[in-house]
A and B are shown apart, each in its own frame.
Chain A
Amino acid sequence: SAVISQKPSRDICQRGTSLTIQCQVDSQVTMMFWYRQQPGQSLTLIATANQGSEATYESGFVIDKFPISRPNLTFSTLTVSNMSPEDSSIYLCSVEGQAWGEQYFGPGTRLTVT
């Protein structure tokens, strides 16, 4: 199984600022995913990040708001830009495992925007 760490684990930010969330995996993986989990809601996929190519964003999410970097096969960052209270959420990164259907998640970053 893959071990995934995220930094920071939580943060409180002011409206209009930006926060970059880091995701580190203990093994090389091709695809990394970024999710958002708003209070009382299910997980929503923000984007898929492959090393060496532009991230693929899902409907409702744009690169200007959520820029993603994927500099190598073990690391990715998600930036939440120009934050508003509506961005208060848990942000999770995940990776696909070796076996069919496997998916591993990081512990999440709890973001509160005031």
Chain B
Amino acid sequence: KNQVEQSPQSLIILEGKNCTLQCNYTVSPFSNLRWYKQDTGRGPVSLTIMTFSENTKSNGRYTATLDADTKQSSLHITASQLSDSASYICVVSPDAGNNRKLIWGLGTSLAVNP
């Protein structure tokens, strides 16, 4: 069964600290993996998209890694800010041309405290 599991479920850190969120997937075939940020009361916003041939991709203070062999991805947030408080969702696509088949994780709820 295609699944995307994220850990931890929730995380609290102090402003300025770094953190790493994890994503394990069992989706097959695999086309690409996406990380989204969802602020409370907002729709998800894309942070990164990686294909199986990419190991790392950065977007400002966000760096995503992908190990297609172990089917694991991580999202590293550097020098966290209060505005980073949000839910971070890992999404795996088995089919590049079909957004109907996205497999969504439950997300990690991150709280950045002053």
- A45–B43 CB distance below 8 A: no
Q: Which of A70-103 contact B (CB under 8 A)?
A: 92, 94, 96, 100-103
Q: Which residues of A contact B44 (CB under 8 A)?
A: 43, 92, 105
Q: Measured between C-beta atoms, what is the minimum distance from B81 to chain A in Å?
A: 22
Q: Which residues of A contact B59 (CB under 8 A)?
A: none
Q: Which residues of B contact A96 (CB under 8 A)?
A: 99
- B41–A105 CB distance below 8 A: no
Q: Which of B34, B49, B100 contacts A45 (CB 8 A)?
A: B100
| Interface residue count on the B side (C-beta < 8 Å) | 20
- B105–A101 CB distance below 8 A: no
Cβ of B104 under 8 Å from chain A: yes
Instruction: Given A41-B106, A42-B104, A42-B106, verify A108-B99 contact (CB < 8 Å).
Output: no
Q: Which residues of B contact A104 (CB under 8 A)?
A: 43, 46
Q: Which residues of A contact B49 (CB under 8 A)?
A: 100-101
- A101–B42 CB distance below 8 A: no
- B107–A48 CB distance below 8 A: no
Q: Which of B38-83 contact A (CB under 8 A)?
A: 41-46, 49
- A42–B100 CB distance below 8 A: no
- A4–B106 CB distance below 8 A: no
Q: Which of A4, A33, A94, A101 contacts B32 (CB 8 A)?
A: A101
Q: Measured between C-beta atoms, what is the minimum distance from B96 to chain A in Å?
A: 7
| Least CB separation from A41: chain B residue | B106
What is the 8 Å Cβ interface bit string for chain B, positions 81-105, against chain A (1 contact, 0 not)? 0000000010001001001101011
Q: Which residues of A contact B41 (CB under 8 A)?
A: 107-108, 110
User: Which 9 residue pairs of A and B lie closest in terms of their CB atoms, listed nearest first?
Assistant: A105-B43, A42-B104, A101-B49, A43-B104, A42-B106, A105-B44, A92-B43, A106-B43, A108-B43
7 A–B pairs (Cβ distance < 8 Å), ordered by A: A31-B99, A48-B100, A56-B100, A106-B43, A107-B41, A108-B41, A108-B42
| Interface residues, chain B, with chain A CB atoms under 8 Å away | 4, 32, 34, 41-46, 49, 89, 93, 96, 99-100, 102, 104-107
